Amino acid sequence: MGRRRNRHVQNQNNSKSWGKKPEWIEDKNCEQYEVFYKEQNVVPEGEWDKFLESMRSPLPVVFRVTSGSSHAEQLHKFMRNSLSKLTNVEVDGQKLEAPFQLPWYPGGMAWQINANRSTIRKSDELKKLHNLLISETEGGSMSRQEAVSMIPPLLLEIQPHHKVLDMCAAPGSKTAQVLEALHKDGEKIPEGFIIANDLNNKRCYLMMHQVKRLQSASVAVVNHNAIALPPFYLDPPDVKHRTEMKFDRILCDVPCSGDGTLRKNLDIWKKWNVASAFNLHSTQFRILKRGLELVTVGGRLVYSTCSLNPVENEAVIAEMIKTAQGTVRLLDTAPTLPGLKTVPGLHKWKVMSKESEFYSSYDDVPENIRILPHHQNTGGFFVALLEKTADVPWQKKRKAPESSNHEVVEKKLKESEDDSKQSEIIDKTDEDDKNIEAINDDSKTDEKDESKKGVHKNKVVTHKFQGYKEDPFLFFEKDDEAWPQIKSFFGMPDDFDYTTLLCRSDAEKKRNIYLASGSLKRFVVNNEDRIKFINLGIKIFGRISSNSQQQGFGCDYRLYQEGMATIFPFIKNRRISFSRLDMITILSQENPYISKFSDVAHEKLKETSMGPVVLIYEPQPGEDGCPLVLCGWRGKTSCRTYVPKLERGHYLRIFGEELGDGKGPAPEDICVESSPQPQEETKQEAV
């Protein structure tokens, strides 16, 4: 192990201090930055002082309600009522502007509070709102995300049938937006899916937490260099000549110098230099080039950076338009987001040397859009929307490697490793992004074999990837032994495609069972020989203790709440109808006795044997609310729900209630086998 770094510094008085920011953080000046951007005319004439003043101020708090769920509108109604009460808040003697909806965000589902975090902490009213946002964000019902970061997914106008690729996805906020668009038809499993890729292995694992909140069976996280993403196929590895698959929509939010994020990344004031953009230009162009190879003809790609530098923006787009020779065109973004204040892209710009000398460039660049921070209190951002009108000229028809030709695959993987040795970058505009890190951090990570599990009998031999070795993704076979019991107990229909279920081990007793959409399953099976999958699908079933049959539970598996919305339409047995009051009771108490429920629910529970149950609420005519489905457990004398505390608080807010301490006697009639999962999740789900 390497030597631990000191976790504290000593000041001149030799006293220890933790967490103190360096003095230069407070110096929000950079002469070279100002000289460069004044010369570029990025900021309209007469607005420079306002631009610089905005750059030196903290960012506001922005959040959006997760759309696509049955209770999104109910939560939005709750938020409107709550935020309407914050019209006369004062902090340090100054009245704060009331929270408002972003005029350009669809459905008014995004809100902005023009106050930073330190201001929020000084107000009791805003502090309550802050705690609410944390709770709802953790449960997946809201997302805290910088306003400009929401723009690229909206421009793609994603539909439920689209196949989407996010090339540089971590930390995952834009991926979450794409999932919302895919699920816009409600709880129905969409035909489309999203592949969320990132070069950094560690950030892929962090991204898993972000996408898991959305509870979707239509997302897979993969770990590759965006420049050298391997081709994707519509045929399995054992087919000799395979057909390449293309994506309908691609997000290309590339690594950048990040000088549009000065409001939150204060160290850029000290580190900014003109060379950063030059170092990244080639990488950005190559990622965009690979993206245009992977998008289908007629498909769309959005290119974005959180930089204002034309070398990273217009210069990349201009070079690509020239290279594409008419096979790619820029689209007008104005009709998609009415109300968004933007400035057009530059038609000419100047290149600055290290000695601050300028050289003019007059390439003819079509219109792009740039968002300036002082126009609507945001960060700086650049976006270009492209449509592929024909196959790009440099793209040759590849002869797909045969499944046994490992040398071809190994060569591609070697190219990917070589391309991963990039400069230091600043990544994304999302709230919790660390923003400054080396793009090849994951190459320093020791490879560890955390799995001693067996390999699927039909699985092609995997190749060496960077980072940790993953457990296999094993889909159910037609003769899987676990399925008949699950099918019978929960009343699953005969036409349910249980081969879309998967597990992470070929052990006889499966711990957790996941579900992937049919289209995602086909993608995985057809590309498992060349893609490093980190995570996919959604958890549906978890194994109960080994002696479940002796205890009279009737099934070896129970349900997980995160997969309830997806699997519920297929479950016909073990359903219990609850009234509004029944739902409030089971959400606010840990283990209420069966006798506490309404007569109808009480009788149904008495008729139901011990084990997993599905608790259903449908609003009665004239009753305010939305449908709700929870996974629960019928014990000997009590009934409980397997819903984490944060989610219970969310559902109670929809019912107009608050979550109390929920204390009650813990039943001793359940024994759930623990599973290998994070400690926090174990606390929420273990009994």
Which of 84, 106, 77 lies closest to 339 in space, CA to CA? 106
Answer yes or no: is 275 a known binding residue.
Answer: no
Measured between alpha carbons, how far is 21 from 8 in angstroms, rounded to an integer?
A: 11
Residue 111 DSSP SS3: strand
Helical segments of 364-453, H only: 373-376, 406-419
User: How many other β-carbons are positioned within 10 Å of the β-carbon of residue 230?
Assistant: 18
User: For residue 176, is it left (φ>0), alpha (ψ between -120 and 50) or beta?
Assistant: alpha
User: How many other β-carbons are positioned within 10 Å of the β-carbon of residue 671?
Assistant: 13
Which of 557, 474, 451, 581 lies closest to 509 in space, CA to CA? 557
Which of 357, 365, 284, 297 lies closest to 328 in space, CA to CA? 297
Contact criterion met (CB below 8 Å) for 387 and 399: no
Answer yes or no: is 172 a known binding residue.
Answer: yes
Measured between alpha carbons, how far is 607 from 601 in angstroms, rounded to an integer?
A: 10
- Residue 84's Cβ-count burial label (10 Å; 0-12, 13-18, 19+) is exposed
Answer yes or no: is 253 a known binding residue.
Answer: yes
Tokens of 101: 């909806």
Answer yes or no: is 171 a known binding residue.
Answer: yes
Contact criterion met (CB below 8 Å) for 204 and 233: no
Count, residues in the chain: 687
Residue type, 430: D
Give residues with Cβ within 8 angstroms of 202, minimum separation 6: 441, 442, 445, 467
Contact criterion met (CB below 8 Å) for 201 and 467: yes
Residues assigned a catalytic role? 306
Which of 185, 140, 210 lies closest to 651 in space, CA to CA? 140
Answer yes or no: is 230 a known binding residue.
Answer: no
Residue type, 386: L
Place of tokens 């669809």: 106
Helix 314-324 crosses helix 275-294 at what angle (to 10 degrees)?
A: 40
Residue 75 DSSP SS3: helix
In order, the DSSP letters of 408-471 are: HHHHHHHHHHHHT---EEE----TT---EEETTGGGGSPP-B---PPPPTTPPPP---SSPBPP
> Which phi and psi angles does 564 have, rounded to 5°?
-65, -45
Question: What is the 3-class SS of 531-566, one letter each residue?
Answer: CCEEEECEEEEEECCCCCCCCCCCCCEEECHHHHHH
Measured between alpha carbons, how far is 59 from 611 in angstroms, rounded to an integer?
A: 49
Q: What is the DSSP letter of 357?
A: -
Burial 552-564, CB ≥16 within 10 A → b, else e? ebbbbbbbbbbbb
CA atoms within 13 A on the CB side of 337: 23
Contact criterion met (CB below 8 Å) for 192 and 162: yes
Please measure the distance between the N-terminal and C-terminal CA atoms of the chain and give it in whole angstroms. Answer: 37
Answer yes or no: is 363 a known binding residue.
Answer: no
Which of 295, 282, 168 lies closest to 225 in space, CA to CA? 168
Biggest alpha carbon–alpha carbon distance for the chain: 84
Q: Which residues pair with 588 in a beta bridge?
A: none
Helix 124-138 crosses helix 645-654 at what angle (to 10 degrees)?
A: 110
Measured between alpha carbons, how far is 152 from 337 in angstroms, rounded to an integer?
A: 11
Answer yes or no: is 418 a known binding residue.
Answer: no
Q: What angle do CA 536, 541, 544 make, to 5 degrees?
A: 135
Answer yes or no: is 16 a known binding residue.
Answer: no
Answer yes or no: is 438 a known binding residue.
Answer: no
Annotated binding site for S-adenosyl-L-methionine: 168-174, 198, 253
Annotated binding site: 168-174, 198, 253
